[in-house]
Every structure is written in structure tokens, then in C-alpha cells.
Structure 1
Amino acid sequence: MELRVLHYFVTLAEELHFGRAAQRLRISQPPLSVAIKQLEEELQAQLFERNSKGVRLTAAGEHLLTKARQLLALSHQAAQETRDVARGTVGHLRLGFVGSSLYRGLPQALEAMQQTHPQVRVDMLEANSAEQILGLQQMRLDLALVHSIQPPEGIASQLIVDEPFVVCLPEQHPLCAAAAIDLGALKGDRLILFSTLVSPTYHQRIYEMCLAHGFAPEVRHEVRHWLSVISLVSLGQGVALVPAALERVGLPRLQFRPLLGEHPHSEMLALWRTAPASPLVQALLAHLRQAAQGC
């Protein structure tokens, strides 16, 4: 059954007059009569009784009227929802993120997204950078927030955060007396570092920073999350080089100091598939950029 013919049928059922129904449909009467006849033949059921006194629905017609109205309503709803999804006003967004993004504007961006897109649901998955890229490629994620990494083909990227590394120290460490720290001063300390399996770019970047200042760091622990890094520092297990955003975590027994001189920065990138284009991804990206500027 064509939706157009069902629309003709419902209009005739409401008017019970071919002339008025045709006028309401803005067609001539013969095409309406032909469409109704073809519908009856398709269904093998008489839908209207026609006589000199007018037109009335049969029992089969009464049954079809209820179902046709439901089908037309569902069709209208489906069309409206499809238009809304295309415009990015409703829908579902699957977001991957690294832990440090929670201190780099992600909560504020999600709150702004809720205000501008109240009918959009955002599902979140915390994962490392490599896991998120795989999620994008397998279409399990729509947007990923990762540490600095070279995106593969078919994945677009945008820099969201670019900030310096700072030294994270246990509060009783002698270097806490300094206002800023030369990286070479950490030569005798044990370093707590991201696992090379989890974030090889960060691991290599920090390692090379130490080598540039004349020492290979003694790595005490390799962990999967920034919060694990600074938690181990707070327990006196070593020192760490961390993104400046982690100063906002508020863990006790920690001190943060800037580094002297010029050093590579800590970056957070947003990644997404280049096709198909998603207005929801672009909307959340805009909120992420704005929120990061306010942090």
C-alpha cells in the first residue's frame, strides 16, 4: 500500500464525499476514484459502500481507517525525526575520552551541549588513545578525545588543548621550595610515567625531554591513567611530568611547579571520521573549543 493512496483513503473516509475529498486533496475526482478502486482490489476488500445517497465505510473500511491513520502518523514522525537528525537537533553521540579531558573542559562542554541540544544523548567511554582510534574505525565511537597522536587515514583531527607540562611532586620533596624547576634537577628522582603501550607518544615525549637535559629517567611505575600517575606521586612513590590541567584535580599531598625553559607541550586532540559528516560531532566540537578556552 502506498502512503499516498492511504492518505487519499483517509481523506475520503473523513469527508464521505468524493467531490469534497478530491477538492481537499487538490486533485480531480477521477484519479481519486481510480486510487480507491485499486486499493480495494489490492486488499481484496470493499472499503466503501456507494449509492445514490452518498458514501459510507464498510466494516473493512472502518478497520483500515484506524490502521491507516496510525501508519500515516508513524510516517510523519519518521520523516520529522530524520530531518531533526540531519539538522543535529536530536540523536545519539558516542564519545570516547581520556581521563585528563575531565579537567580540560569536557564537563563544561557536555553541559553546554545539553542546553543547546536537549534531545541529544551522549554516551561516554573512557579509553586510551589507541583504543579510541580503533573505536572510530569500527564505527563504535563518533568522536574521540585523545592525547597527541598522528591520526590514521580517514580520521580528521583538531587541536583542543595545548598546554605546558608541569612537575608534580610529593609535598615533602625538597624541590617544592623552588618557584620553578629545571628539568635536569629531576635526574636523581624516580619517574612515574604513562605506559608506552597505552600512550606511546606521551611516553616518548617525556622520555626525550629528560634525555635532552642529560639523563635517562629512572621509571618507577608505568600506569594507564593520569589520575593514577598523580595518586602515586601523592603516596611518595616518585615524581611526574603531567599536563598543567591536572593541578585542578585537588588531590592532597601534592605540589605542582612549572618547568624552566622551553619544552614540548601536552596536547589533547579531538578525532572523528571524515565521512559521513555529523552535525552533532561539529556541535560538540564547538562546545569543546569554547570550554577549553575558559579553563
Structure 2
Amino acid sequence: MRAVRIDRFGGPEVLVPVEVPDPEPGPGEVLVRIVAAGVNRADALLRSGRYHRAGQPPLIPGAEAAGVVVAVGEGVAELAPGQRVVALDGGRSSGFYAELATVSADNVVVLPDGVDLTRAAALPIAWLSAWYCVRHLARVSKGDTVVVKAAASGVGTAAVQIAAEAGARVLALAGSAEKAAWAGEFGADVTVDTSAHPDDAEVEEVLRLTEGRGADVVLDTVGGPAFGRSLREVGHAGRVVALANVALEPSTVDTRDFYPKNASILGFQLTDLQVHGYDPRPDLREIAERVAAGAFRVPVETVVPLQEARTAHERLERRDNRGKIVLSVAPESVK
């Protein structure tokens, strides 16, 4: 089969198309013919050797995909060949940048009609992360004020929609006027261009928009210095959810910015949750059903052929995309 492999850590140029043997499903596994694979910052970190769970090359990246079941391993009764599915985490040595991949049946969900496989490939990482943080960790409810940072990102646009559906007032922060305006199209009540409100000015703007009270929830998808600002932007008994550090910089925390407000800091990391027993299928199934019903929009900006994964990573790392980047592996009609 065709795949894209990393034989050494480095920049996008180390993503090399190769021919490798077809995998076979073991007990409890499913073999999926991949139609589309999502491209994520975790893939870029894995490629560069900076991912916290990275193995050693050779590695096939890709933690999310959608496709069609080809075969099932021993003990798999709930899935069958021919089903359209979305899958999460193909393993660090055999990921989804490939025509075929094996994956645990515990990480596979059958798709409802109305969700095409390209959009489905964008659901497991960004949407599942946003859903868990908004619904389970932060417990966002009607009347809450929610700040979403990097609101034009995949997690950001998902979080804006999920929080708005819950009845929250959503303040969407993004790094340019264009990105802020675009985030507003997904249901944000207020948008803030953080390039016009850098550093302390960002905090002052959030406090102004909340009449000095601060937000009930701050979803921090940026990390680094932005996390310290998140602590200052949250209000009494508020929740700050930290789920990324795309800044790749240390965060300086002043405890005086949160303990006097009885605020909570909540951490989120999807693979760690799975290692400790989280079953993603009920949440992923509900997300897919809501997408099929038209309740949520899944913006896919760029679709790149599998063999051009390098181009996809270059675009991802420029951070100029609005919406998801997806690798096209096979035609939608594949069986």
C-alpha cells in the first residue's frame, strides 16, 4: 500500500511517500481503507521529534481518519466490512497517512448518513477535544460567558459552536481581523482581534466586555504567555481549561491571578484520557449525529493528496489556514 512515512525527525521535507506491506487486523482491531486523514499540530510535533509520546522512526503519522471497513479481527462483533467509519489514533508506528490502517475497534464509530468522509476525518481530534472541554470539563451552560482563544483554529471553531449551542455568550479571540471576523460566522457573540489588543490589552478588552467580572470559562488553546493572560481573564469561580501549547513556550503563572477568585485550572490531553480509560465513542457518535443533522459546521479549508503531505504540513506551520487541512487518500466512493 501507499503511505507517507517519517524515516528521520525534521521539517516537512522528511515526509516521504513509500510503499509498505498491507497491515492485517489483530484481535480486537479493524482494518480500514482510508479515504481522508486529518492533519494536526500533533502530527507536526511527531514529525519533528517534539511530541511527548513520540516513538522512534520509521513512523507513519496521522491520528484521525475516515474510511471504509475492509476486515475485522477476532472478537470484533459490532463492526463489519463495508461500513463507513471515523477512527481515532492509528498508533504511533502505524498511523493514518496511508491507504490502509489497523485501529482498535474501541476507537471506531460508524458514521450516520449525511456526513461525508472528508468532513468526518476532521472530527476526532479538534471536535472531540472541544466537546470534552466545553461539555465535560468546563460544564458550560446557558448564561455562561466563554472566551475561546485561537477561535479560527479547528478546536476554536468547534468550541465556539458547541458553547453557543449550550446557550453561552461566546467571546472569540483570534490573531487577525480576518480570522476574528471568520470566527464570528460560527456563532460567536463578540469577536476580538488580538493583534490589535496584544498582551495586557487583551486582558483589558476581555474585562471590558464582561463589565469587569471576567469570564466564566476561558478555553486556552494557545499556551505559553497566553495562559497567564487566561488566568487574569477568568472571573469568580470560573474555569480555565488548558488543552494545548502551540506557542511551544513556558507559561509563567502567578497564583494571585486565580486563587483569590476561587477559579479552577483544568488540564486536558486526549491521548492521556484514552490511556486512562476514556471511551471516545459515545461523544464522537453524538458529534457526528449533530453534524449530520446540520447543527454544527465542519470547515475544511484545504484538501491535499496523500503524496503531498509535505505541502499540507508547510501550510499548517505557516498558521494561515482557516479551517481544517485534510489529506485525500482515496475517492469517497471507495469500497
Greater C-alpha Rg: 1
The TM-score with structure 1 as length reference comes to 0.29
Structure that is richer in helix per residue: 1
The TM-score with structure 2 as length reference comes to 0.26
Which structure has more relative contact order (CA 8 Å, sep 6+)? It is: 1
